[in-house]
């Protein structure tokens, strides 16, 4: 039990008490359900990887958004992580594609431009050159998100590509994944050029 609690407590957002409750629940679950859960975890770990185009999580070479020919591939929304992408997908109104940075720059934590997917974004913009009309920067409204947005803007603007930032509406210190769809839509509709 102690080992199970310790492993569960190592997960992000799970404290010692929550880990204890989860461990207790798992022990009481029918063995078939536990087996199914462990198989799902193992299967996901073995088969889920980054999309070769946008770097979201997928179980195929390219995610469903990047492989969808009906999406507007001339508009790229840059987000911090897959959860932010999923938040915008829930709105059902954004028809462009994404680029998932897998984080934001944070000098205090030692995370610089080379530690997130900025090089891949620039390579993507360079490869598609004239085909990209706009890059929407949809970073979280945090110090790290704002710094990353400004850094990206300075890199992309000289390429002659329109760079916009989602409008405020997402509260400062808030996270896109926790924001309701209406606020996300207002932020998208009110984006501005950097």
Q: Quick count: other Cβ atoms within 10 Å of Cβ 103?
A: 15
User: What CATH class does 2-47 carry?
Assistant: mainly alpha
Span(s) in the chain for CATH 3.40.1360.10: 57-193
Q: Tell me: the pLDDT tens digits for 121-139?
A: 999 998 766 689 999 999 9
The per-residue b/e assignment along 141-164, b for 16 or more CB within 10 angstroms, e otherwise, is bbebbbebbebbbebbeeeebebb
Angle value at C-alpha 70, between 66 and 74, nearest 5 degrees: 65
- Cα radius of gyration rounded to whole Å, the chain: 19
Give the pTM. Answer: 0.77
d(CA 128, CA 161): 11
Q: Output the CATH code of domain 57-193.
A: 3.40.1360.10
Q: Tell me: the pLDDT tens digits for 50-93?
A: 999 999 999 999 999 999 999 999 999 999 999 999 999 998 99
Span(s) in the chain for CATH 1.10.8.420: 2-47
Q: Tell me: the pLDDT tens digits for 130-183?
A: 689 999 999 987 888 888 999 999 999 998 899 998 876 777 677 888 887 777
């Amino acid at each position: 039990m102690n080992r199970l609690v310790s492993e569960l407590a190592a997960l992000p957002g799970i404290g010692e008490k929550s880990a204890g409750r989860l461990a207790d629940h798992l022990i009481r679950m029918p063995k078939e359900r536990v087996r199914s859960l462990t198989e799902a975890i193992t299967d996901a770990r073995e088969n889920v990887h980054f999309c070769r185009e946008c770097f979201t999580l997928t179980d195929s070479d390219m995610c469903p958004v990047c492989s969808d020919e009906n999406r507007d591939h001339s508009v790229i929304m840059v987000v911090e992580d897959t959860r932010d992408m999923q938040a915008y997908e829930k709105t059902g109104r954004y028809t462009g594609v994404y680029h998932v940075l897998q984080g934001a720059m944070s000098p205090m934590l030692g995370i610089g431009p080379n530690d997130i997917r900025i090089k891949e974004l620039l390579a993507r913009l360079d490869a598609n050159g004239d085909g990209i009309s706009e890059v929407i920067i949809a970073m979280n409204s945090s110090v790290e998100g704002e710094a990353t947005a400004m850094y990206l803007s300075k890199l992309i603007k000289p390429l002659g590509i329109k760079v916009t930032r989602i409008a405020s509406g997402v509260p400062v210190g808030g996270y896109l994944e926790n924001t309701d769809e209406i606020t996300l839509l207002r932020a998208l509709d009110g984006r501005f050029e950097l």
